[in-house]
Amino acid sequence: MRKNIRTLKLLTWILGTGFLILLPFLIPTRMHVAVIALYYAILASSWALLAGYGGQFSFAHMAFAGIGAYTAGLIGKFIRITSAPTGACTEFSLGNWWLVIQDTASPTCLESAKATMPLGTLIIKLPPWLDITMGILVGGLFGLLIGALVLRLRRTYLALFTIAFAEILRTVINAERDVTGGPGGLKVAPLFPNGASIGNHTFSPADKLPSYFVMLALFLLVMALMYWLAGSRFGLFIRSIREDEEAAASLGVDVVRYKILLFTVTAMIAAAAGGVYAHFVRVIAPNMMVIKEMSIVIAMAVIGGMESLLGAAIGAILIEFALEQLRSNITVGPFTLNMADWRLVVFGGLLMLTLRFWGNGLIYPIIQRITRGGVGEETVAKRLQQPAANDSSSLPDAEGPESVP
């Protein structure tokens, strides 16, 4: 029995992953949307971990993605490694190499230093994976600080504080245009600055396919990490905190610590997604953090099913494709509906209705039906069939499969 369930689950996972890997061959012209859909899937499912599992409502998830993106972008803009000192910029020696910062006070220092540096000096821009990693760390740091500041207080404070934090971060990035480029955006190097080659085929930096696989790999990694977390003691604790904080505390769960940990981990996941996104779209602007974007991520998670990581992810992917598809205007007789606006109205309405009538979301129940529904019936039937049988295997079955959906 147990084996069956596992095989079924494994099969679903393999099928799902296989589908995502083959997706580029099914819709080769829509790769951009596919990558963005995966980006939203990472954000929505990590938000589902934070809010659906842990009950912590943060509106700063996009802000963390923004922190990841801007850290990656700013490192690319300001930091270089050189094999000789420039003598003009702010620099630190790392043995034979120098870490050079072209700060805003001397933005062209490196250009002018080129004249004086010995011929053949190497000037290296940090590779994308390194600046994404830095972005993840910075995101985690912010998550830790905010968590430590607010998570001791009541739940509502987190929601209020994060909404304000997201706005302020956007304001600061907008206003400090010398550093961040302001509303005009910040240019970021492509994910594969020198192109990529697999076998004989060479992809140019502008090609979407390699970026798709990077985002897909990140998505799978993040899903694996989150399922592992959710299934571990940590997952148990955060669920207990969500159900009843006082009870959890009285049973010895260090409530604040686990909440902060959860907040930090999801912030880092968001920052990772933001970092890859920045390198993919190659120009980021503070508007990636507007409330509207956050609303979209929340709605994706809710419609997919807030209590299911997979549900939220699938919800995000489907909704992103649907939103892109719904852009063209609809004309009914003399009326033209400007779908650019109306699609969001439909979306907001759907969010409210889902919350009100289908608390588990629209997609999670379907997943449940596929992976578990049949099993449950089967188990019941089996038990009815052999009521006297003291088959030991029926006991664990009665508990149902993994507690993690």
Instruction: Give 101 or 383: the residue with its C-beta nearer to other proteins.
Output: 101
Give how far Cα 303 sits from Cα of 156, 167, 270, Å.
Answer: 22, 25, 19
Q: Is 114 in the site for other proteins (CB under 8 A)?
A: yes
Give how far Cα 192 sits from Cα of 29, 64, 95, 127, 203, Å.
Answer: 20, 23, 28, 9, 9
Q: Is 228 in the site for other proteins (CB under 8 A)?
A: yes
* DSSP H/E element including 224: helix 208-231
Compute the distance between CA of residue 21 and CA of residue 105 in angstroms, rounded to an integer: 46
Q: Is 168 in the site for other proteins (CB under 8 A)?
A: yes
Query: Which one of the spans 42-50, 99-107, 194-202, 263-271 is the region binding other proteins (CB under 8 A)?
Result: 194-202
Q: Is 121 in the site for other proteins (CB under 8 A)?
A: yes
Residue 337 bridge partners (DSSP): 330
CA atoms 296, 299, 303, 306: torsion sign: positive
Q: Is 331 in the site for other proteins (CB under 8 A)?
A: no
Instruction: Give 120 or 387: the residue with its C-beta nearer to other proteins.
Output: 120
Q: Which of 90, 106, 174, 240 binds other proteins (CB under 8 A)?
A: 174
Q: Which of 4, 112, 204, 250 binds other proteins (CB under 8 A)?
A: 204
Q: Is 337 left (phi over 0), alpha (psi -120 to 50) or beta?
A: beta
Site for other proteins in 301-320 (CB under 8 A): 302
Residue 118 structure tokens: 């010995």
Q: Is 285 in the site for other proteins (CB under 8 A)?
A: yes
Are 230 and 404 a contacting pair, CB within 8 Å?
yes
Instruction: Give 59 or 364: the residue with its C-beta nearer to other proteins.
Output: 59
How many beta carbons lie within 10 A of that of residue 199, not counting itself?
A: 5
The interface mask with other proteins, positions 52-91, x = CB under 8 A, is ---x-x-x--------------------------------
Strand 79-82 with 97-101, pairing: antiparallel
Residue 80 bridge partners (DSSP): 100, 125
Q: Output the smallest distance, CB 289 to other proteins, in A.
A: 11
Q: Is 183 in the site for other proteins (CB under 8 A)?
A: yes
Q: Which of 12, 90, 240, 287 binds other proteins (CB under 8 A)?
A: 287
The interface mask with other proteins, positions 336-375, x = CB under 8 A, is --x-xxx-xx-xxx-xx--xx--x----------------
Q: Is 126 in the site for other proteins (CB under 8 A)?
A: yes
Instruction: Give 8 or 383: the residue with its C-beta nearer to other proteins.
Output: 8
Collapse the DSSP code of 189 into the 3-class scheme (helix H, G, I; strand E, B; otherwise coil) and give the result.
Answer: coil
Are 128 and 191 a contacting pair, CB within 8 Å?
yes
Q: Which of 18, 87, 107, 184 binds other proteins (CB under 8 A)?
A: 184
